[in-house]
Chains A and B, each alone.
Chain A
Amino acid sequence: MEQSEENKKKVVVRVCIGTGGLAAGGKEVIEAFKKAITDFCVDIELDFTCHYQKVGCRGFCARDVLVDVVDGDTSVTYQGIKPDIAKRIVEEHLIKGEPVKEWLIDASYYAFHAKQLKILLKDCGTIDPEDIQAYINVGGYSGIKKIVSAMTPEDVINEIKASAIRGRGGAGFPTGVKWEACRKAPGDVRYIVCNADEGDPGAFMDRSIIEGNPHSVVEGLMIAAYAIGASLGYVYIRAEYPAAVDRLKLAIAQAHELGYLGNNLFGSGFHFDVRIKLGAGAFVCGEETALIASIEGERGMPRAKPPFPVHKGLWGKPTVINNVETLSNIPYIIRNGAAWYSAIGTGKSKGTKVFALTGKVKNTGLIEVPMGIRLGEIIYDIGGGIIGNKQFKAVQTGGPSGGCIPAELLDTPVDFESLGRVGSIIGSGGMVVLDETDCMVNIAKFFLEFTQAESCGKCVPCRIGTKRLLEILDRITRGLGKEGDIELLETLCADVKAASLCGLGQTAPNPILSTLKYFRGEYEAHIREKKCPAKVCKDLLTYSIIEEVCTGCGACRRACPAGAIAGDKKKPHRIDPEKCIKCGACFDVCKFASVSRE
C-alpha cells in the first residue's frame, strides 16, 4: 500500500558548505544525493522522504566533505565524502539501514572535538544559516526580546561587564567598559559597528561565524545597540568574502521580514537597523580609526587616539566598534547569564576563543576552546600532531602582530596575559603550526613583507621602519647578512614599536622579535655560515645529484624548468649550477632521494 508523502518518516542529509566544504565539493555532494534518490525512486517505493540541509563550517575542514544523516533521533556522520560515494550511502544506509562503515568518522574526529568547548560554533554547522527560523528554534533572538522587555541599557552593560568578556579582535579590551564609555558620551546619535574586516593572513574565524551563524552577529549588534543607545549599525566586511556578505544580507532581510529590525521593535520603542559596508582591501582598516575613515569613503588611514571612537567615532559621533566573534558571543551571554560565561576560562580571560588551526598539523580546521587550555593540547590533542610525523618547531599566533612560540613553551596556557608574556598575542585567532622544514627568518620576512605592503604610509616609523626591517631580513635570507644585523634589527624594532601611530606599526616588529628571541641561532647561521638550517632560503642552497644513488630515470631532467639537468638514460645525471634556478623541482620529483640539497 502506498504511504502518503506526509506520513513517511523524514531523513535529513546535512552537508557542510562552509569554505572548506565548498572547495571539497559540498554542493556537488548534495546534487549527487538528490540524483541518487531520484534514480532509486524510479524502481522502488522509498519509505522515507529525504530533506537536505546546508550548514556552515563544522570545524573539521581536513575531513571535508562532512555529511550527517539524521534519521529520527539518530545521527550518523560521514567524512571525506565525494559525490560518487553518495549513491552507496543512499542505497546501503538510507534504503537498507546499514551505515557505510568505511566512510564513517573515526577516532580522529572524536579526538578533534574532545577538548573543545563549543558555544559559538555549536550552532554553526548544525543550523541552516540561510533560515532565520533555524536560529530562532535554538533560542535565537530570545536575548534581545528579553532585554527590551526586562532590562534597562545600564542593566545590559552591567551584565556584559560582569561576564568579563574581552574583545576578540586582538587587543582584548573589556567589551562592557567600552559600551559604558560610549553610552556615557554626550550626544544623541551613536553608532555600533561590527568589524568584519578579517585581514590577518591565516585567520578565518569571523568568516566562518558569519557564514555559519549570521543571525548571532545581527542579534549581537541589536543588543549592543540597545545598550549604548544606537539606532543604526554597520557591518564593515571584506569584499573578499562574497559568501559571508551574501549570508549576512539574507540574514538582515529575513530579520526585517519578521519585524526584528526596523522601528519600534517588539513594541518596546527601540529602533534599530543594520547596513553593510564592503571593505575594499586594506589590512590597516581593521584598526578602528582607519575603519571609520573607510566607512566614510576615504583612504583608510588611522589617526591619533584620543579621542577614542567611543567619544568621537563615525561622522564624529560616539561609536562602538566590536569584532564579529565578540558580538556573536553577546546573545549567548544574555541568554545564559554573566555567571555562566565567567565560569569558563581563566582569571582575566573568560569564555571561549575560536581559533583557525592551520599549517603543519594533521587536523586543520576551525576550533573553539576554553581560555586557559595549553598550546600543546591544541596542537597534539585537537590538531593530532604534525603531518608526516615531522618535528614541531613553533606555533605562530596572532598573525602579523603576533609571534612564534617554540616547543619548550607548549605548556603555556592560551589566554591574553600568558601569550603576551611569551612575546605573542592571541590576536584575532590565527594559529599556524610550523615544523622543522620552516625557516624562522623566512617566516619573519614573510610577515614584514605583509606589514610593509599594508602600512598606510601616514607615519614615518611604520612607513620607513618596516621597509628597512624588510630590507635587512631580505639580505639575511639571501646570504648577504652582515655582523651587527641582528643588533640593528633589535634597535630598529624597538623604535618602530615605540613610535608608530597605530597598532599595525606598533606590533609589526613582533614576528622578528619573537623569532630572534627563540631562534636566534637560525639568524646567526644565515649571517655567519651562509646556511639556512631549514633549507628554505633559495640563495643559500645548492642542488646536486648523488651519482652513486642516481638511477638515471630522467624524472628530474623532465621536471627541471630551467633545462639545467643533463645525462644519458640509466646513467647518473648532473645539474649545471650555472643554469640551476634552485626551484627544487628535481628534489621533489626524485623517487630515489638522489638529489642533495645543502
Chain B
Amino acid sequence: MNDILDGIITKYREKEGNVIFLLQETQDALGYIPEEAVNYFSEKLEIPPSRFYGVVTFYSQFHLKPRGKNIVSVCCGTACHVKGGSKIAERIQRDLGLAADGETTEDGKFTFEIVRCVGACSIAPVVLVNNSAYAEMSADSTSKLIKELKKKESSGTK
C-alpha cells in the first residue's frame, strides 16, 4: 500500500498541495480512505490527521469503510421522492437485509446507499447499480433487479 501512497504524495506535491485531490486519488486507488493511509500521509506531509478527517467527513464522496463490490443506490432527490423513492429504498433494504443507508452485506457484495439527486429527474424514480441508471422504477421492479444481481453474483459471472 505504501508504494501507492507514495505515488499519490508525489502527484499531490505537483498539485499545489490539494488535500481533496490527495484523498480522491487515495479513494480511487483503494476504494475507501483507510486509517493507515491518513496516518501515513500525516507523518510524511507533517499535516495533522484532523485536517484530513475534516475534509473526509465534510464531503459525502469519501468513505472511511470499505464498500461492497456492487453499489446499489436509490435516488431520493425531489422528483424521486414524490414518485416513491423512499418506498424503493425500504424495499432494497429489505431485500439485501440491510438496516441503514451506507451499510454493506456481510459477504461484501452489496452496499446500499441513498443518494441525493443524480440529475435524472425526468425518469424518476431512479435506482443506480454501479453508476448505471434504471429508469421509472417501482418497489417490485427493484426487487426483480436485485434478484438478478444476486443471481449473477452467486453464479460468479459479472
Contact = CB atoms under 8 A, between A and B. Distances in A.
Interface of A: 19-20, 22-24, 61-62, 64, 198-204, 207-208, 239-242, 278-283, 294, 296-300, 356-360, 364-366, 396, 399, 430, 432, 434, 438, 443, 446-447, 450, 456, 561, 583-585
B117 interface: yes
A408 B94 CA distance: 42
Nearest to B27: A280
Contacts of B121: 202-204, 356, 358, 364, 430, 432
Interface in B102-138: 115-124, 126, 131, 133-135
29 contacts: A19-B119, A19-B120, A23-B135, A24-B135, A61-B122, A201-B77, A204-B120, A204-B122, A239-B61, A240-B115, A240-B119, A241-B119, A280-B24, A280-B62, A296-B18, A297-B19, A297-B20, A298-B19, A299-B55, A359-B79, A359-B124, A360-B82, A364-B123, A432-B82, A432-B121, A434-B82, A447-B78, A561-B94, A585-B139
Contacts of B94: 561
B117 A365 contact: no
Given A20-B135, A360-B82, A434-B82, A203 B117 contact: yes
A399 B134 CA distance: 23
Given A202-B77, A242-B131, 4 more contacts: A282-B60, A299-B54, A360-B83, A456-B58
Contact of B122 (A281, A297, A298, A358): A358
State the 5 A-B residue pairs at the shortest beta-carbon distance, nearest first: A201-B77, A280-B59, A61-B122, A204-B119, A202-B78
Interface string B9-22: 00000001111111
B87 interface: yes
Contacts of A62: 122
Contacts of A430: 78, 121
Contacts, number: 134
Contacts of B18: 296-297
Interface in B31-85: 54-55, 58-62, 76-79, 81-83
Given A359-B79, A561-B94, A20 B120 contact: yes
B148 interface: no
Contact of B59 (A242, A282, A585): A282
A511 B48 CA distance: 40
Nearest to B77: A201
Contact of A281 (B59, B133, B135): B59
A242 B128 CA distance: 13
Interface of B: 16-24, 54-55, 58-62, 76-79, 81-83, 87, 90, 94, 115-124, 126, 131, 133-135, 139
Nearest to A457: B58
A230 to B, nearest CB: 17
A557 to B, nearest CB: 16
A302 B61 CA distance: 19
B123 A281 contact: no
Contacts of A300: 58-59
Contacts of A296: 18
Given A297-B17, A297-B20, A23 B78 contact: no
Contacts of B24: 239, 278, 280
A252 B26 CA distance: 25
A278 B62 CA distance: 13
Give the interface centre of A201, A296, A300 by most chain B CB atoms within 10 Å.
A201
A22 B62 contact: no
B78 A432 contact: yes
Contact of B119 (A207, A396, A434, A561): A207
Given A22-B133, A240-B115, A299-B54, A201 B123 contact: no
Contacts of A278: 24
A446 B78 contact: yes
A438 B61 contact: no
A500 B58 CA distance: 19
A430 B126 CA distance: 17
A384 to B, nearest CB: 13
Given A281-B59, A432-B79, A366 B122 contact: yes
B14 to A, nearest CB: 13
A359 B54 CA distance: 36
A451 B99 CA distance: 24
Contacts of A61: 122-123
B142 to A, nearest CB: 13
Given A202-B77, A280-B20, A282-B58, A23 B119 contact: no
B24 to A, nearest CB: 6
Contact of B90 (A283, A438, A583): A583
Contacts of A19: 119-120, 122-123, 133
A356 B119 CA distance: 9
A198 B82 CA distance: 20
Contacts of B61: 239, 279-281
A23 B126 contact: yes
Contacts of B21: 297
A200 B120 CA distance: 12
A203 B54 CA distance: 28
B83 A359 contact: yes
A239 B17 CA distance: 20
Contacts of A456: 58
A583 B120 contact: no
Contact of A203 (B59, B60, B119): B119
A358 B79 contact: yes
B20 to A, nearest CB: 5
Contacts of A241: 119
A446 B81 contact: yes
Contacts of B81: 201, 446
Contacts of A583: 87, 90
A277 B33 CA distance: 20
A360 B124 CA distance: 10
B87 A198 contact: no
Which one of B78, B81, B122, B123 has the highest number of Cβ atoms from chain A below 10 Å of its Cβ?
B122
B42 to A, nearest CB: 15
B134 A23 contact: yes
A383 to B, nearest CB: 11
B82 A23 contact: no
A22 B131 CA distance: 12
Nearest to A206: B119
